[in-house]
Amino acid sequence: MIFSLQLGLLIIVLYGILGSSRMKQDLPSVNRGEKSWNYFYLVYGVLSVIAIPVISLSEFGKGYKVSIALIDLGTLLYLALFNSWFRNKIIGFVVKSQTKEE
């Protein structure tokens, strides 16, 4: 389970780096408001709360769990707060969920 989580996180980070570099070439910069930043912090918190118990309960990486957790938290921090592609995905998800009619 933990190996698939690590692999998935690595794929998302690599895709995010590529997407972010393409976005910097094509689009103008955007200053995010306080509400958007609150969503980024929320996503980071939720993903961290999910990742840490998965790491601590797994048998993979015995003796290295603290290092794995720190790397994962740093990666999630990068995605949620510094990667423009991932932040746009977060805002797109929020906007889609708020404008959905029932």
- Per-residue burial over 71-98, b if 16 or more Cβ lie within 10 Å, else e, is ebbebbeebbeebbbbbebbbeeeeeee
Q: What is the pTM of this model?
A: 0.84
Q: Which residues of the chain have pLDDT under 70?
A: 1-2, 24-27
Residue 41 pLDDT: 96
Residue 70 pLDDT: 93
Residue 24 pLDDT: 67
